[in-house]
Amino acid sequence: MVEKRSMPFQASTPFNAAQAERHLWLPYSQMHTAPAPMAVASAQGSLITLQDGRQLVDGVASWWTASHGSSHPHITKALAEQALAMPHIMMGGLVHTQAQRLAARLAALAPGDLNRVFLCDSGSVAMEAAVKMALQYHINRSDGDTQKRRHKVLFFEGAYHGDTMGMMALCDPTEGMHHLFSNMLQQQVMAPLPVDQASLERLEAILDNQGHDIAAMVVEPLVQGAGGMVFHHPEVLRHLRRLCDSHGVLLIADEVFTGFGRTGTFFACEQAAIVPDIMALSKALTGGAIGLGAALARDSVFEGFLGDDPEKALMHGPTFMGNPLACAAANASLDLFEDQPRLEQARAVGAAMAQQLERCRSLENVRDVRTLGAIGVVELNETWLARTSTDKLRQAFIAEGVWLRPFRNVIALTPAFTIGDEELRTLTNAVWNVLSGGAP
């Protein structure tokens, strides 16, 4: 047996492209045909510096996470200090100051009485925990009567809630990226988002017929993100809250993408003045520094797990839940929201994108231009897909000096709230230059 020896890493260790190609399996990529990934040397603010010295303006805030820009000194300082004190400790029977402080701050910021905070390690896992809470809540309330147990979850057409097996079952089975698994997953209940009277009546009919089996309804408030950056009016959320109350269904708000200012308010649910029963958070929770997720539950949901019966407890506990490093980063990020005008900056970025992207509407290959908060979207005509690819489009943006990741026929701009005026102009000019040139 040949012993494999690890190779020591130093900050000065050069990037080895051959090793990367040989060993890394990258996400959402056909590795046989995708362009070679670019090696990054550093990321500061809204600039990505590559190993070859080129710089790109980050137009997606490192997958919608770095709301304060990359490597913010207040966050990196908090990480460094926490790493020296205690990089990790299990939360089974133990707790620490960073988690206690973060939970209290999130409860204070969240709508209504979302006072119970379950810390985990990603958005998908936060949603898994949220759905598990909802299902077990109804089990606990049934007092052993299996006829009273609700075992279904209602989700919406075009939805995306994560890549785990449980969450793939709550993504659009035909239009979503997980359609290959549609016949292998637990079948849930898909409904139209009630954006008009006809779709509202269809949703009401589904609940009238199946509501007794439905434990929870999951929704991405105001924006279906990875499903195509599709916006909906706050009134939709008010309809959902009303219907859930009428049918005894728990409402789960997936604010993994929308939370922490992305839609212009701290949480998207605020714009509808509703309180979900459970809310999932991640992405910008740590300011993009390290992975962390959270599922916040109302007091009434939490109380459904209390009692003398140990089987009523929530049996869920990711190994790295409540990691002190991640909690320290999240607390530092919340400091910045408190001390800096981040929400005003988010809205200003959105207003600038709306003005600068509007000219794209005149292009023949553009179907729509829309903005909400610090989200800018240019939607291309479906015919565009027949003659090019998102890989080619991404390469064209790189040539313009920007980092954007188009998906399907959507170009989404989700920059840091702190992006500079010239950097933002570089982003929007790149979109115009590529599309007005006929697209690759």
Q: Which of 58, 121, 277, 283 is catalytic?
A: 283
**Contacts for 239-244: CB closer than 8 Å, 24+ residues apart:** 239/194, 239/200, 239/203, 240/194, 240/274, 241/272, 241/274, 241/275, 241/276, 243/203, 243/204, 243/207, 243/217, 244/217, 244/277
CA dist 246 and 11 (Å) reads 58
227 touches 261 (CB < 8 A)? no
Q: Which of 121, 160, 172, 277 is catalytic?
A: 160
374 touches 225 (CB < 8 A)? no
Q: Which of 28, 77, 245, 299 is catalytic?
A: 28
- Active-site residue 137, yes or no? no
257 touches 263 (CB < 8 A)? no
Give the pair of three-digit tokens for residue 228. Answer: 């195509």
- Active-site residue 160, yes or no? yes
Residue numbers belonging to the annotated binding site for substrate: 63, 160, 283, 317, 405
C-alpha dihedral sign at 301, 302, 303, 304: positive
Residue numbers belonging to the annotated binding site for pyridoxal 5'-phosphate: 123-124, 254, 318-319
Residue numbers belonging to the annotated binding site: 63, 123-124, 160, 254, 283, 317-319, 405
- Active-site residue 4, yes or no? no
- Active-site residue 312, yes or no? no
Taking the CA atoms of the chain, what radius of gyration do you get in angstroms? Answer: 22
87 touches 324 (CB < 8 A)? yes
Q: Which of 58, 172, 254, 277 is catalytic?
A: 254
DSSP one-letter string for 64-80: HT-TT-BT-HHHHHHHH
Catalytic residues: 28, 160, 254, 283
